[in-house]
Amino acid sequence: MKKLTFLSLAISFLLGFFCLGTAVTSILVSFLSPAAYLLNEKYLAENFNPSATTAVFHNQLFTVPSLPEPSALLAQVLGWGSADKRIEIDLTNQRLYAYEGDRKVFDFLVSTGKWGRTPTGNFQTWVKLRATLMQGGSKVLKTYYYLPNVPYTMYFEGQTSEGRTISRAQGYGIHGTYWHNNFGHPMSHGCINMKTEEAEQLYYWAMPPLSGKATSVWAGKDNPGTPISIYGQAPVQ
């Protein structure tokens, strides 16, 4: 009986210790999660794989093209000034417009959400990455994608027209595209797909500007991102 009592006490102690440890862990996670997320963002900013050769988009294999060399000329010509820059994305007509004040600078065909809705509302770029990895979808539904070195990516955050918050963790962005050439038609999981050479122009033009030899940049209070307005309704495919 004494052995049984001792065993019961030991089990109770271990269970209590485990529960306490779980609670402490939860508290620590709640305090540390912002820092952990920043580490994830830092990894995201550095996520370029020079040895990547194969991409997957909906069960189809694609060759990952070599990353274009940084365009010093574009950076100098397009990156100067912040004269009231803004981006508009017209889902109905599948077009992206870029403005400086009332002057239209760019007018490009794009592909927005087909397998995931592109949110409408008002947003702002929070990071510009010359290349990054994108992965998601479902293998069961045959919508899986694994896309290394997606070029000229600008992620955005903000408020939808329904009042929802689009957070950084949701991964909405504007970027170059090497796995399809069907621009003008919805083709994405929610992002805005662009021709790579046009995404490059927008990348160097948009705020925040690149500094020195930097090829990626984070927005901040002193170097805010570019406002983005998304409106309309994507055509049904």
Report pLDDT digits (tens) over 122-170.
999 999 999 999 999 999 999 999 999 999 999 999 999 999 999 999 9
Residue 35: the pLDDT is: 33
pLDDT in tens, 3-22: 445 445 444 444 443 333 43
Residue 203's pLDDT is: 95
Q: How confident is the model at residue 73 (pLDDT cuts 50, 70, 90)?
A: low
Element at 18 (helix H, strand E):
helix 2-45
| Pairing of β 173-177 and β 85-90 | unpaired
Instruction: Find the angle CA(44)-CA(50)-CA(56) to the nearest 5 degrees.
Output: 75
Confidence of residue 37 (pLDDT cuts 50, 70, 90): very low
The DSSP 8-state label assigned to residue 177 in this structure reads E
Token representation of residue 22: 């779980």
The answer to whether the CB of 237 falls within 8 A of the CB of 185 is yes
Strands (E), the chain: 54-57, 60-63, 85-90, 95-100, 103-109, 121-136, 145-160, 165-166, 173-177, 192-195, 217-218, 227-231
Identify whether 208 is preceded by a cis peptide bond (ω within 30 of 0): yes
Q: Identify the weakest region by mean pLDDT among 63-77, 100-114, 146-160, 216-230.
A: 63-77
Model confidence band, residue 76 (pLDDT cutoffs 50, 70, 90): low
User: What is the reported pTM?
Assistant: 0.79
Q: What are the distances in angstroms from CA 160 to CA 69, 123, 193, 231? A: 35, 8, 19, 10
197-214 mean pLDDT: 90
